[in-house]
Amino acid sequence: MEEFGGSELARRTLVAAAPRAAWRRPGIMLDRYFTRVAILPTFLVMLGVFGMPLAFSFYLSFTGYGQGQRLFSGGYVWLENYQDLLSDPVFTGSIAITLAYTAAAVAAEMILGLGIALLLNMDLPGIRICRTALIIPMMVTPIVGALCWKLLLDPSHGVINYWIGQHIVWLGRPDTALAAIWIVGVWQSTPYVMLILLAGLRSLPSEPTEAAAIDGASRRQVFWHVTLPLLRPYLLVALLLRTIFEFRAFDNIYAMTGGGPANSTMVLSMFTYLMSFVRFDFGLGAAASWLMLLMALLMCLFFISVIRRREVT
Amino acid sequence: MAQVVGSKRKRGLEAALVYAVLTVLVLAFVFPLIWVLGLSLKTRLQIFSTPPLFLWWPTLENYADVLTRADFGQAFINTMIVSMSAVLLSLCVGVPAAYAFARFPFTGRTFLFFALLVMRMLPPIAVLVPMYVLFSKLGLATTRFSVVLADTTFALPLVVWLMRGFFEDLPAELEESAWIDGASRYRAFWHIVLPLARPGLVAASILCLQLAWNDFLFAAVLTNNATQTLPVMMAAFNAGDSGVDWGGLTASGVLVILPVIIFSFIAQKHLVAGLSSGAIKG
């Protein structure tokens, strides 16, 4: 906060030093509104491409709007869209699948990411190459990564079935499809967790660990009672970010199963997509997306409260 | 990590174990991509041979096929146009705002800042449904411009969060002395702050470029055959269930991810700050 004090002082100096007549010059008049001018475009974009569409979709969710209608011509159906959704087993099922998938993916990414970060944090020669290699999956265009995995998992020509010596139709069976998508998600996103936690480990002070070791703590004790508590803020950020991003999972599922077989991989994003852009029922789509938004918003607010607490301390 | 206890031999054993585990992990994480790269260098017969070939004389015919396809060239150009424009728009709009967030107090500052974060975090499909309806009424629905606008909803918060961090790290004295010397806020920003923040600008543009380049959902809904981007075209390869062209799919996949991987390595230092939305400085 010191900067503000400094710049405020400088501003007053500037105002005091400026000759009176100079204030009539438009340049200096404009200068007084610098902050507003700088913020305005961002504010407009936020309102135009984010706030307005969301408000419009809130309105849409109470109407029966199909494609080809005029903008505000959809008749009000009030809560019918929401009622339809909540009594639709596919939709309620998709909530359960989304939550289960998110929990499973985030748990695996956190555990694996933490393990890899701990290994990479050791000062051994050549470890940078490993780090570089391990972050590649995260840079790959998600849809391309998913399509690649689809080829690997191909029932007759895929290399995975060749190795395990079985003919498993991974993406065609309700019991394996979600697991396959989970593997791809974990493959893609573990590097995120790993990078965040590695940054955290690097920023930890070394004194507490050393002190504990000198006091005779075993390495396991140091890990559980010193390193992990110190790493807590980073773990929390990684956990929340991954939860928010896995909750919206779409690309992999679109590329690999399209929500099938038998809706076993129908996550909320996929459901909303199919409702809106395949069935073109925008009223239902908007209602589904608002329910999804509310859930995501809760997670966001939690995330924000965590960051704010960190910024204060 | 401090190693207070442990003999030399024990430490050597431990290092060997760490290397062994890391090697297995690296192989597991990189194998799918290596295998796909291999597939892209095989002929059709070699791709489908059982058992799979592990040694063969590589061929570039798949790449030649893909690169001579008219729609690949068009999609490549579209992707370039869309992602460059999204980067440019987000930078022009977001960088001044980031500077204001970093330096000047104003009413609604905290609210606006966290609203931006929410914008980055909400599921894209939820924004896309109303966007599609509105854009199609405005006649924008199948244009590249609509994808640029949609991508901006996620690129802009990234720019603001990242650049705010960079501006906060710059010493305020430099601009202040410029103001006292009579420079306007605009001149000080343009001639003093921006040149100093160049590394930040580079990192922000690369991360936005990655975001826009990799986007599938927005482009899939908001484009048609003429304006489709590479990820959309890739998904279309997959659509014909009867005969997925493995050679074409893998070769174009490699071509799509190659630029992104190169960009990302350039901005590696800033990846952490970018992907944690500024919650952690890398």
Q: How many domains does chain B have?
A: 2
Least confident of A99-103, A115-119, A225-229: A225-229
Residue B164 lies in a domain: yes
| Contact indicator for A91, A287 with CB cutoff of 8 Å | no
Query: Which residues are CB-contacts of B97 (< 8 A; sequence separation ≥ 6)?
Result: A38, A39, A41, A42, A43, B160
In this structure, the answer to whether residues B119 and B250 fall within a common structural domain is yes
Mean pLDDT of B123-148: 90
Q: What is the pLDDT of residue A254?
A: 93
pLDDT at B223 over 50: yes
pLDDT at A14 over 70: no
Q: What is the pLDDT of residue B281?
A: 58
Least confident of B82-91, B216-225, B273-282: B273-282
Task: Identify which has the larger pLDDT, A4 or B91.
Answer: B91
In this structure, the answer to whether residues B48 and B88 fall within a common structural domain is no
In this structure, the answer to whether residues B80 and B186 fall within a common structural domain is yes
Task: Identify which has the larger pLDDT, B92 or A162.
Answer: B92
In this structure, the answer to whether residues B120 and B142 fall within a common structural domain is yes
Q: A228-242, pLDDT tens digit by residue?
A: 988 988 898 899 889
Q: Could you tell me the residue range of the domain that residue B52 belongs to? A: 8-61
Q: In CATH, what number is assigned to the domain containing residue B132?
A: 1.10.3720.10
Residue B187 lies in a domain: yes
pLDDT at A274 over 90: yes
- What is the distance between the alpha carbons of residues A245 and A191, in angstroms, rounded to a whole number? 14
Q: Which of B62, B113, B133 to mutate to test binding with chain A, by most A CBs within 10 Å of its CB? A: B133
In this structure, the answer to whether residues B176 and B126 fall within a common structural domain is yes
In this structure, the answer to whether residues B120 and B191 fall within a common structural domain is yes
Confidence of residue A110 (pLDDT cuts 50, 70, 90): very high
Q: Report pTM.
A: 0.87
- Point out the domain boundary residue: B24, B45, B61: B61
Whole-number percent of chain B with pLDDT over 90: 36
Q: Does A142 touch chain B (CB under 8 A)?
A: yes
Do the Cβ atoms of A141 and B257 come within 8 Å?
yes
Q: B8-54, pLDDT tens digit by residue?
A: 788 888 889 999 999 999 999 999 999 999 999 988 888 887 777 78
In this structure, the answer to whether residues B169 and B261 fall within a common structural domain is yes
Considering Cα of A244, then A196, then A239, then B20, what sign does the dihedral take? Answer: positive
In this structure, the answer to whether residues B266 and B223 fall within a common structural domain is yes
Considering Cα of B126, then B132, then B138, then B144, what sign does the dihedral take? Answer: positive
Mean pLDDT of A56-61: 91
Confidence of residue B3 (pLDDT cuts 50, 70, 90): very low
> Which of A31, A144, A292 lies nearest to residue B257, judging by beta carbons?
A144
In this structure, the answer to whether residues B40 and B73 fall within a common structural domain is no
Residue B237 lies in a domain: yes
pLDDT at A149 over 90: yes
Q: What is the pLDDT of residue B216?
A: 93
Confidence of residue B226 (pLDDT cuts 50, 70, 90): confident
In this structure, the answer to whether residues B55 and B163 fall within a common structural domain is no
Q: Does A312 touch chain B (CB under 8 A)?
A: no
SS3 B153: helix
Q: What is the ipTM of this complex?
A: 0.87
Q: What is the pLDDT of residue A3?
A: 41
Rg over alpha carbons for chain A, rounded to the nearest Å, is 26
In this structure, the answer to whether residues B133 and B227 fall within a common structural domain is yes
| Contact indicator for B276, A237 with CB cutoff of 8 Å | yes
- What is the distance between the alpha carbons of residues A203 and A309, in angstroms, rounded to a whole number? 19
Residue B252 lies in a domain: yes
Q: Which of residues 80-119 of A touch B (CB under 8 A)?
A: 116, 119
Q: What is the pLDDT of residue B182?
A: 81
In this structure, the answer to whether residues B102 and B186 fall within a common structural domain is yes
Please report the domains of chain A, with CATH numbers, ordered by start residue. Answer: 86-312 (1.10.3720.10)
Q: What is the dihedral of CA B80, B81, B82, B87, to 10 degrees?
A: 80
